[in-house]
């Protein structure tokens, strides 16, 4: 019993030595030190995680700020390119002037959107945060004068990544196409020979451009033939510029029967086979005969007839085409489409007021007839009060002769295309160029 008691006391003593001590003194305090080590490691991990989290938050702020400023820069570049493109309406004689206008206005618009530059800075150079290039200096449109490129860049302060030497730069680029007006001139003749343009008459013949356009333009191999007392002269709106332009092509035109969203089909249900159409219509209270768009063998308006055209496309399929000897008034945008054998003649003394519109690419008369009288406008046509010119729009006869013989002052306002153009005078014949009545591709528009 005594021996057992001694052993028991010894065992208890050992257990006491191994038991954790609340004071941390004496014995082996393995449990307490383990918990203290774990607590220290947790603090280190929390500190590191907090640092990483703050870093990610700062990086998110940096990236978010970069994204925001980049969006602002892109919007400003897009707007500046479009504004500059509005100044570039096709090809004009004074290219330097129009380029300077485009660059100035593009930079001015970038300033209005919060980016730093000098509106008077040169073309093709960086000025602070903005660069404008006419023509573009890079990309698929590089070197093309009917496009403008705007680039914007802005360095940004970094909240966190700057500690590691990382910097950000918000940049944007935009390229816009000007509304391409093709060849800006009152008359454009395509025949590469003699004569390409004939000016011959006994009264004033005016061929009038404007500040940025020519009066007479013809094929670079064409010959201008002037005789009689006629002259490309004065007394009309705009700046007269009869200097010949050396061009070799014609503006790209789409079929006027196609609108911006698809084909504009003449009503196939309207087709008459008669010597004219006026007998088949009903007179209104003012004594006018109303006719509707459609396909006709021909349209013949006699000198005693008074006709009003409803808006739309009028197609003729026979050689008689359209003959206007009386009054012809359009009540909206009109386009005459002449089949290859059809001709257009307006040679009476009636009152004429016919105009096209953007829905038909501003083309009033479209013909593929290749005769020497594809389109003929003669006589002393009166102008409807307040209308301005008897014919407003573009006459397009790229393989035929357009003859303008007499007519009231301002007989055609818009543009005249012909293989040969004959201005034969007689009573103040005039062609006045008007960009708003000339054909062209839609625009301006962003392309990049």
The pLDDT value given to residue 241: 31
Q: DSSP assignment of 174-223, as one string?
A: EEEE----SB-EEEEE--SSS-SEEEEESS-BEEE--TTSEEEEEETT--
Question: Would residue 30 be called left, alpha or beta, if left means φ above 0 and alpha means ψ between -120 and 50 degrees?
Answer: alpha
Mean pLDDT of 325-353: 87
Q: DSSP assignment of 223-280, as one string?
A: -EEEEET--B-SSSSS----PPEEE--------TTEETTEE----TT----SS-SGGG
Nearest by Cα to 401 from 125, 193, 251: 193
Give me the percent of the chain exceeding a pLDDT of 90.
6
Strand partners, 309: 291, 330
Strand partners, 412: 391, 431
The pLDDT value given to residue 382: 64
Highest mean pLDDT among 60-69, 367-376, 383-392: 367-376
Higher pLDDT, 251 or 221: 221
Q: Is the pLDDT of residue 222 over 80?
A: no
CA dist., res. 126 & res. 132, Å (int):
8
Kindly indicate the confidence band of residue 17, based on its pLDDT and cuts at 50, 70 and 90.
very low
Kindly indicate the confidence band of residue 365, based on its pLDDT and cuts at 50, 70 and 90.
very high
How would you classify the pairing of strands 168-177 and 147-156? antiparallel
The 10s digit of each residue's pLDDT in 141-154 is 888 777 889 999 88
Q: How far is CA 167 from CA 52, 81, 116, 155, in A?
A: 19, 28, 19, 8
The 10s digit of each residue's pLDDT in 206-220 is 666 554 455 676 665
Higher pLDDT, 415 or 445: 415
CA dist., res. 309 & res. 328, Å (int):
7
Highest mean pLDDT among 78-92, 243-257, 288-302: 288-302
The pLDDT value given to residue 225: 65
Nearest by Cα to 84 from 163, 148, 34: 148
Considering just the CA atoms, what is the radius of gyration of the chain in Å?
A: 40
Higher pLDDT, 429 or 52: 52
Q: Give the tokens for residue 297.
A: 């063998």
Scan for tokens 């055209």, then name that residue.
309
Q: Give the tokens for residue 3.
A: 């021996």
* Residues contacting 363, CB < 8 A, separation 6+: 253, 256, 335, 356, 393, 394, 396, 439
| CB of 396 closer than 8 Å to CB of 414 | no
Q: Is the pLDDT of residue 448 over 60?
A: yes
Kindly indicate the confidence band of residue 114, based on its pLDDT and cuts at 50, 70 and 90.
confident
CA dist., res. 367 & res. 340, Å (int):
7
Mean of the per-residue pLDDT values for the chain?
Answer: 70
* Residues contacting 74, CB < 8 A, separation 6+: 172, 174
Nearest by Cα to 250 from 373, 114, 96, 396: 396
Kindly indicate the confidence band of residue 70, based on its pLDDT and cuts at 50, 70 and 90.
confident
pTM score, whole prediction = 0.58
């Amino acid at each position: 019993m005594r021996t057992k008691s001694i052993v028991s006391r010894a065992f208890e003593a050992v257990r006491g030595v191994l038991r954790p001590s609340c004071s941390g003194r004496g014995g082996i305090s393995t449990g307490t030190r383990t918990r203290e080590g774990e607590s220290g490691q947790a603090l280190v991990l929390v500190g590191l995680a907090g640092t990483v989290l703050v870093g990610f938050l700062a990086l998110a702020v940096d990236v978010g700020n970069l994204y925001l400023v980049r969006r602002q820069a892109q919007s400003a570049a897009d707007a500046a390119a479009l504004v500059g493109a509005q100044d570039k309406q096709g090809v004009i004689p004074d290219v330097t002037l129009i380029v300077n206008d485009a660059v100035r206005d593009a930079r001015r618009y970038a300033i209005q959107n919060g980016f730093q530059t000098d509106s008077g800075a040169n073309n093709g150079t960086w000025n602070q945060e903005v660069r404008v290039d006419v023509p573009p200096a890079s990309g698929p449109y590089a070197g093309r004068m009917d496009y403008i490129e705007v680039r914007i860049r802005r360095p940004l302060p970094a909240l966190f990544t700057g500690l590691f030497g990382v910097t950000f730069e918000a940049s944007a680029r935009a390229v816009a196409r000007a509304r391409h007006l093709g060849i800006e001139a009152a008359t454009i003749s395509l025949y590469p020979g003699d004569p390409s343009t004939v000016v011959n008459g006994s009264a004033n013949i005016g061929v009038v451009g404007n500040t940025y356009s020519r009066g007479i333009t013809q094929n670079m191999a064409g010959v201008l033939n002037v005789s009689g007392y006629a002259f490309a002269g004065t007394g009309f709106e705009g700046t007269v510029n009869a200097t010949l332009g050396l061009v070799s092509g014609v503006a790209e035109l789409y079929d006027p029967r196609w609108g911006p969203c698809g084909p504009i089909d003449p009503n196939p249900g309207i087709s008459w086979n008669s010597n004219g159409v006026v007998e088949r219509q009903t007179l209104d209270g003012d004594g006018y005969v109303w006719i509707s768009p459609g396909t006709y063998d021909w349209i013949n308006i006699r000198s005693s007839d008074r006709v009003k055209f409803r808006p739309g496309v009028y197609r003729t399929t026979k050689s008689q085409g359209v003959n206007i000897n009386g009054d012809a008034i359009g009540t909206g945008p009109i386009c005459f489409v002449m089949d290859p054998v059809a001709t257009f003649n307006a040679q009476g003394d009636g009152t004429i007021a016919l105009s096209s519109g953007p829905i038909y690419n501003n083309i009033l008369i479209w013909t593929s007839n290749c005769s020497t009288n594809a389109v003929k406008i003669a006589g002393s046509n009166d102008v409807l009060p307040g209308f301005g010119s008897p014919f407003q729009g573009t006459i397009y006869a790229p393989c035929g002769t357009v003859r303008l013989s007499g007519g009231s002052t301002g007989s055609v306002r818009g543009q005249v295309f012909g293989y040969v153009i004959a201005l034969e005078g007689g009573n103040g014949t005039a062609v006045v160029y008007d960009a708003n009545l000339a054909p062209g591709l839609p625009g301006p528009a962003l392309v990049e």
